[in-house]
Amino acid sequence: MAHTVYCTDVGTDLLAMCQRNVALNSHLTATGGGVVKVKELDWLKDNLCTDPKAPFSWSEEEIADLYDHTTVLLAAEVFYDDDLTNALFNTLSRLVHRLKNACTAIFSVEKRFNFTLRH
């Protein structure tokens, strides 16, 4: 198990749901000594949110931990909009260029059939 896992999304409602899921499943991680932290990661912004008044913001220590220790990036069900997909890859590029270690990225992709009402 990882020492620290950062579970990210955007939007207070979604992040609060993630936090509830982490709490409900904490018994699964308790014995391994790891910790799961829920943080905002907005692909449409150039920087991580560090405003201490904002819920789910990053502390300077967490950002340092992210860059110093990350070795795996996992993204599941994140490809559903062309603009957001481009934003995701721009965000990943910014992040991995600051990582101190080699990193493996794993993406889970569901084939989606996009259509309009006309179709």
Alpha helix segments (H runs only) across 8-81: 12-24, 26-29, 60-69
Helix (H, G, I), strand (E, B) or coil at 38: strand
Q: Whole-model pTM? A: 0.87
Express each pLDDT in 61-115 by its tens digit.
999 999 999 999 999 988 888 899 999 999 999 999 999 999 999 999 877 666 6
55 contacts: CB under 8 Å, gap ≥ 6: 12, 15, 16, 40
CA distance 18 to 21: 5
Nearest alpha-carbon partner for 38 in 78, 5, 68, 65: 5
DSSP 8-state symbol, 74 = E
DSSP 8-state symbol, 100 = S
